[in-house]
């Protein structure tokens, strides 16, 4: 079987595709898998590290207002379409799986032009414009939330699959995660990250909270800044002397390739409310402090965060209310209340869907018949 995945830009579009691709390979090691992405997205780094081949096509997103810049975008995507047609003809996939991002548009359109079956996956409750438009070409649209179904009335078939999560995220034991992260069993591990590209407001709040949190000698504050902000944040930490003068320990990392170890090791996570992040948190079952991004379309991250908070799986703090003092107080309250954390773990697991990748694999198999 030959399957091509088109998606990229952020980890939210790449990790679900990698989870499905890895499951396909486990089912049949002779499966041929190819990823198509851009040279600027995270797929350029993540896909080869996962052991898959990546082909590059040019792609860009249309501006949401009338502007001459859209002429350049159109030209870029036409070039991407031509490049995608050549890749598809050479690779000859039986199915093309689109997981979102600008690159999915020219590749999925090329697959439609060549009459190759298309499976689209939408991670968010509020679908993006690209997937809504591309759905008319798809044999099946798989959605993560049933609230997304009304946006795909032109699709031939819509199923609720959930959002695929790498098996390592929920299969890895706490003991193994802590061993791989070099943390002792009695440490209190707080993991702070802002998604695949980081989130400076969350990182800055964590720095402000650090002196209070690190008074706890057993606390380990692991902050993943994103590559863009790493140098600035590292310099600020050194200048403030946070690591040197506190009792606990603060670790700054630009990116974690072994995020499954960090998630397994964490007592509490502080993060955004993107679809893939929430899928991982709920599949594993981790008490979470969610700070939804206010910059996303229709504020959909706040809706995601509220869904978890209302079920008792997370605490939500709106970014405009976020301070170091509030973050430190929230984290300390959770660490001091093991019964509450246990209830949050149980609530999160009721919302998680560990079989999402398997559901998509079954759809791929169906489309190859």
- Provide the greatest CA pair distance for the chain: 64
DSSP 156-182: S-EEE------HHHHHS-HHHHHHHHT
C-alpha–C-alpha distance, residues 99 and 115, integer Å = 19
**Are the C-beta atoms of residues 163 and 12 closer than 8 Å to each other?**
no
pLDDT of residue 356: 94
Token pair of 51 as six digits: 């052991």
C-alpha–C-alpha distance, residues 89 and 121, integer Å = 23
Residues of the chain with CATH 3.40.50.2000: 2-165+354-368, 168-351
What's the CA dihedral at 19, 23, 26, 27 to 10 degrees? -170
Residue with the two structure tokens 């606990």 = 248
Q: Does the domain spanning 168-351 belong to CATH 3.20.20.150? A: no
pTM for this predicted structure = 0.81
CATH of domain 2-165+354-368: 3.40.50.2000
Residue 272, classed as helix, strand or coil, is: coil
Half-sphere exposure of 2 (CA within 13 A, CB side): 10
- Count the Cβ atoms, other than its own, within 10 Å of residue 160: 15
pLDDT digit string (tens) for 42-97? 899 999 999 999 999 998 776 666 666 667 778 888 999 999 999 999 999 999 99
pLDDT digit string (tens) for 153-200? 999 999 999 899 888 889 999 999 999 999 999 999 999 998 666 689
């Amino acid at each position: 079987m030959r399957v091509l995945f088109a998606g990229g830009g952020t980890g939210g579009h790449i990790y679900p595709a990698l989870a499905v691709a890895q499951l396909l390979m486990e089912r049949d090691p002779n499966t041929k898998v190819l990823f198509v992405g851009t040279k600027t997205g995270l797929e350029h780094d993540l896909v080869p590290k996962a052991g898959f081949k990546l082909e590059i096509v040019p792609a860009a997103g249309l501006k949401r207002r009338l502007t001459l810049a859209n002429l350049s975008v159109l030209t870029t995507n036409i070039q991407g379409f031509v490049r995608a047609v050549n890749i598809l003809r050479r690779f000859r996939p039986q199915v093309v799986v689109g997981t979102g991002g600008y690159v999915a548009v020219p590749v999925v359109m090329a697959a439609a032009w060549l009459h190759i079956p298309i499976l689209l996956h939408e991670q968010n409750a509020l679908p993006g414009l690209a997937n809504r438009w591309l759905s008319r070409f798809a044999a099946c649209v798989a959605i993560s939330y049933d609230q997304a179904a009304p946006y795909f009335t032109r699709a031939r078939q819509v199923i609720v699959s959930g959002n695929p999560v790498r098996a390592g995220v929920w299969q890895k034991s706490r003991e193994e995660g802590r061993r791989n992260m070099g943390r002792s069993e009695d440490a209190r591990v707080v993991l702070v990250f802002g998604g695949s590209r980081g989130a400076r407001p969350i990182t800055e709040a964590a720095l402000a909270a650090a002196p209070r949190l690190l008074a706890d000698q057993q606390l380990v504050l692991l902050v993943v800044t994103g590559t863009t902000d790493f140098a600035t944040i590292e310099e600020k930490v050194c200048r403030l002397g946070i690591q040197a003068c506190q009792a606990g320990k603060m670790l700054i990392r630009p990116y974690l390739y072994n995020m499954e170890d960090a998630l397994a090791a964490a007592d509490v996570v502080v993060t955004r409310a993107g679809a893939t992040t929430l899928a991982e948190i709920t599949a594993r079952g981790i008490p979470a402090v969610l700070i939804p991004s206010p910059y996303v379309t229709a504020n959909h991250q706040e809706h995601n965060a509220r869904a978890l908070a209302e079920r008792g799986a997370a605490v939500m703090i709106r970014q405009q209310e976020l301070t170091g003092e509030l973050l430190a107080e929230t984290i300390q309250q959770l660490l001091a209340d093991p019964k509450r954390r246990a209830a949050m773990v149980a609530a999160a697991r009721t919302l998680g869907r560990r079989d999402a990748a398997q559901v998509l694999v079954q759809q791929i198999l169906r489309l190859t018949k």
